[in-house]
């Protein structure tokens, strides 16, 4: 596809602006004038419309294709949540509108949504109260670890360390480190879950807490979760639940019942917000009763007269972590989604998410190397077989070949504890037909890897850009004059 600059034809114009009565000569100091005219493309209106429509069609999204990007929960989000979030009464609310004084009724509905979402999330997770302020899962992690730090500071505990399993999402150690803690990694055992003996060896009085994802990034549920929580509590540590992937257990099990003290959820993953490319999101944090006083400012309270207000008088709070109300629109979508599905619907979410992942796991087992045997939860992890590796094939080649077949690749090379990993998360919203066609594509790729590895290594052949240097493409992003040739 040509760049818009390459399509430019000197002298071609889209709109003709007639000379009006506005002054054409304005005196601008020379130092503020640009040295040369800007290099703008010259095109007709139709050229422009075609160019941007073509570009938009190169966009890949859940609304166009299957997107099994492990741990990211790229599920279909019902359009009704978008519709309701676009209602002017919500979409046009200004964060500085008064809460209760004259005109306060304008914000009462929004405060009610925040308050009732808090109650719904309490019911879903078994926690005692939430903040809706954090704007991403990672932001929720930082908030949660700051709450853990506030708890220890309040008690005069001098603790220095947060334990994080080696399979954790990279944001876990990053959040703990930003909050000022030393991060100690806990190894996984040969079953893919936390090694209990190693954990026991690492627990001491310095431990402020442990961050755990369950099911973990291998899609495996840790059977010792209760024991782990007890061990950490024995040294007055707190246990943090990374609930970004609640999709796997929503409606079935509650982290609060396992013994977790702090939980974050990714509303944009589990509860219906289209996401990707870094946003938008919301990562509410829930805590147990003794930790409520440390929640960030402000929280919504319901008064005796039935009205809602924001509470700012929170002496032990960790303070402000986001302006105003957090990402209100995302919380609103989650509220609509939860009410729409109800208890039965949420249970079906996790049942189908887990069923779909296990179906893929069983069907692909003969063709790829399954990282860990047994039932998985919302995602399964494969790697390439030895036969493929012997032909010089890497997981990246499989991922690139999927693009040519119209599928988004799974998450690759993560979790890092599995070599050449592919983490597949189908989510609950895909039909059996779609999943079957993905399985078929994966099987064809596995066969091609052995019969014609060179052809596989040439993929993708259907995209404008084939194999950019992934690191520099991400670190030195330049979308204005990218040259696919080199």
Ligand X SMILES: *Cc1c(COP(=O)(O)O)cnc(C)c1O
Contact mark string toward ligand X, 239..278, x via CB under 6 A: ---x-xx--------------------x------------
Contact mark string toward ligand X, 281..320, x via CB under 6 A: x-x-------------------------------------
Distance CA 86, CA 92 (A): 9
Q: Does 380 bind ligand X (CB under 6 A)?
A: no
Give the CB-side neighbour count of residue 414, counting CA atoms within 13 A. Answer: 14
Q: How far is the CB of 416 from ligand X (least distance, A)?
A: 13
Question: Which CB sits closer to ligand X, 71 or 133?
Answer: 71
Question: Which CB sits closer to ligand X, 394 or 408?
Answer: 408
Q: Does 333 bind ligand X (CB under 6 A)?
A: no
Q: How far is the CB of 127 from ligand X (least distance, A)?
A: 17
Q: Does 138 bind ligand X (CB under 6 A)?
A: yes
Q: How far is the CB of 340 from ligand X (least distance, A)?
A: 22
Q: How far is the CB of 85 from ligand X (least distance, A)?
A: 18
Question: Which CB sits closer to ligand X, 126 or 144?
Answer: 144
Q: How far is the CB of 389 from ligand X (least distance, A)?
A: 28
Distance CA 393, CA 391 (A): 6
Q: How far is the CB of 75 from ligand X (least distance, A)?
A: 13
CA dist 54 to 59, 141, 226, Å? 9, 39, 53
**Which residues on neighbouring strands pair with residue 300, listed in sequence order?**
310
Question: Which CB sits closer to ligand X, 127 or 248?
Answer: 248
Q: How far is the CB of 186 from ligand X (least distance, A)?
A: 16
Query: How many chain residues are in contact with ligand X, going by CB under 6 A?
Result: 14
Return the C-alpha torsion angle 40, 42, 45, 51, nearest 10.
-70
Q: What spatial distance separates the first Cα and last Cα of the chain, rounded to whole Å?
A: 15
Q: How far is the CB of 213 from ligand X (least distance, A)?
A: 5
Window 352 to 371, contacts with ligand X (CB under 6 A): none
Q: Does 213 bind ligand X (CB under 6 A)?
A: yes
Distance CA 62, CA 74 (A): 7
Closest residue to ligand X, judged by C-beta, is 137
CA dist 306 to 97, 100, 108, 303, 341, Å? 19, 12, 10, 5, 26
H or E element, residue 163: strand 161-165
Q: How far is the CB of 73 from ligand X (least distance, A)?
A: 7
Question: Which CB sits closer to ligand X, 157 or 413?
Answer: 413
Distance from CA of residue 97 to its chain's centroid? 30
Distance CA 160, CA 281 (A): 30
H or E element, residue 453: helix 453-457
Question: Which CB sits closer to ligand X, 75 or 405?
Answer: 75
DSSP code string of 258-281 = HT-SEEEE-HHHHTT----TT---
Q: Which range touches ligand X (CB under 6 A), out of 132-140, 248-256, 294-302, 338-346? A: 132-140
Phi, psi torsion values for 173, nearest 5 degrees: -60, -35
Question: Which CB sits closer to ligand X, 242 or 397?
Answer: 242
Omega within 30 of 0 (cis) for the link into 217: no
Out of 171, 247, 270, 427, the only residue in the binding site for ligand X (CB under 6 A) is 171
Which two three-digit tokens encode residue 320?
């402000």
The CB density around residue 3, as the number of other CB atoms within 10 Å, is 13
Question: Which CB sits closer to ligand X, 69 or 393?
Answer: 69
Q: Does 136 bind ligand X (CB under 6 A)?
A: yes
Out of 69, 71, 81, 149, the only residue in the binding site for ligand X (CB under 6 A) is 71
Q: Does 143 bind ligand X (CB under 6 A)?
A: no
Work out the burial of residue 157: count CB atoms within 10 Å of its CB; fewer than 13 is exposed, 13-18 middle, 19 or more buried: middle
Contact mark string toward ligand X, 417..456, x via CB under 6 A: ----------------------------------------
- Which residues fall within 8 angstroms of residue 437, CB to CB, at 6 or more apart? 66
Residue 147 near residue 262, CB atoms below 8 Å:
yes
Chain residues that interact with ligand X, rule: CB under 6 A: 71, 136-138, 169, 171, 213, 217, 242, 244-245, 266, 281, 283
């Amino acid at each position: 596809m040509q760049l818009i600059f390459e399509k430019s034809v000197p002298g071609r114009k889209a709109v003709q602006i007639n000379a009006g009565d506005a002054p054409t000569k304005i005196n601008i100091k020379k130092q503020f004038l640009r040295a040369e005219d800007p290099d703008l493309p010259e095109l007709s209106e139709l050229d422009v419309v075609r160019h941007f429509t073509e570009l938009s069609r190169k966009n890949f999204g859940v609304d166009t294709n299957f997107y099994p990007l492990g741990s990211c929960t790229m599920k279909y989000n019902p359009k009704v949540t978008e519709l309701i979030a676009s209602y002017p009464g919500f979409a046009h609310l200004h964060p500085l509108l008064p809460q209760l004084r004259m005109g306060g009724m304008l914000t009462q509905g929004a405060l009610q949504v925040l308050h009732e979402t808090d109650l719904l999330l309490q019911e879903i997770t078994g926690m005692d109260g939430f903040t809706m302020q954090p704007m991403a899962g990672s932001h929720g992690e930082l908030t949660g670890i700051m709450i853990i730090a506030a708890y220890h500071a309040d008690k005069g505990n001098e603790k220095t360390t947060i334990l994080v399993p080696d399979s954790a999402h990279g944001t876990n150690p990053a959040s703990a480190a930003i909050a000022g803690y030393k991060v100690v990694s806990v190894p996984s055992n040969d079953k893919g879950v936390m090694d209990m003996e190693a954990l026991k060896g690492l627990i001491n009085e310095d431990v402020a807490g442990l961050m755990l994802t369950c099911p973990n990034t291998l899609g495996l549920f840790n059977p010792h979760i209760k024991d782990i929580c007890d061990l950490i509590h024995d040294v007055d540590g707190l246990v943090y639940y990374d609930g970004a992937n609640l999709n796997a257990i929503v409606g079935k099990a509650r982290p609060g019942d396992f013994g977790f003290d702090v939980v974050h959820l990714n509303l944009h993953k589990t509860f219906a917000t289209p996401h990707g490319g870094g946003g938008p999101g919301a990562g509410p944090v829930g805590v147990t009763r003794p930790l409520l006083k440390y929640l960030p400012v402000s929280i919504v309270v319901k008064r005796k007269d039935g009205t809602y207000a924001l509470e700012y008088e929170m002496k032990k709070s960790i303070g402000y972590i986001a302006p105003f109300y957090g990402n209100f629109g995302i919380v609103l979508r989650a509220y609509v989604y939860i009410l729409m599905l109800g208890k039965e619907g949420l249970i079906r979410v996790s049942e189908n998410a887990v069923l779909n992942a296990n179906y893929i796991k069983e069907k692909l087992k003969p063709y790829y190397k399954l990282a860990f045997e047994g039932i998985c939860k919302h995602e399964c992890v494969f790697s390439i077989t030895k036969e493929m590796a012997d032909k010089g094939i890497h997981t990246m080649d499989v991922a690139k070949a999927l693009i040519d077949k119209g599928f988004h690749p799974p998450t690759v090379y993560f979790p890092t504890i599995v070599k050449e990993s592919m983490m597949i998360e189908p989510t609950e919203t895909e039909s059996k037909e779609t999943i079957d066609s993905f399985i078929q594509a994966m099987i064809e790729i596995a066969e091609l890897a052995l019969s014609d590895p060179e052809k596989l290594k040439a993929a993708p052949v259907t995209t404008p850009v084939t194999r950019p240097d992934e690191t520099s493409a991400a670190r030195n992003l330049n979308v204005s004059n990218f040259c696919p040739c080199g």
